[in-house]
Structure 1
Amino acid sequence: MSIEELEAYFTGITLPEQIVLEQGVVVKDLPLFLESHLSYVKLKGDLKSTEVFIYRLHLLKERLEEMNG
């Protein structure tokens, strides 16, 4: 899934106050998380360091889909 597709997915959906991405990783400010991760990937898309940001965005999408059935 491209960064544009991920951004479109997160646009306009209702976000919980916080979410557990994986054991020991809790995101407490989802709007800030999304803004920072999407911005970083768009600005630095050619760097290897974006892989972890993209991974977390995919993980967030999976968790939200699990919550919403």
Structure 2
Amino acid sequence: MRSDTAFAVFVVGALLMFFSFVFDAPLIFYVIGGLMTVGAVAAGTTRRRAGPPPDVTLRPGGGDRPWRKPRDQ
């Protein structure tokens, strides 16, 4: 599941829980909204990257950055 889809499911679940609270809906709507939000968070955290790791990272470091190394030509 893409992160945009997971975010949309999270928002719909949160809105369902909010409106269930405001309009004093039955407990089943709270359960459905809670399961949607938890499922969306779980889908977002278990998503894996595809492809090789990036060449440049944003971690702090000195000489390990590729643009600071002299080129051998």
TM-score by length of 1: 0.41
TM-score by length of 2: 0.39
Larger Cα-atom Rg? 2
More strand by share: 1
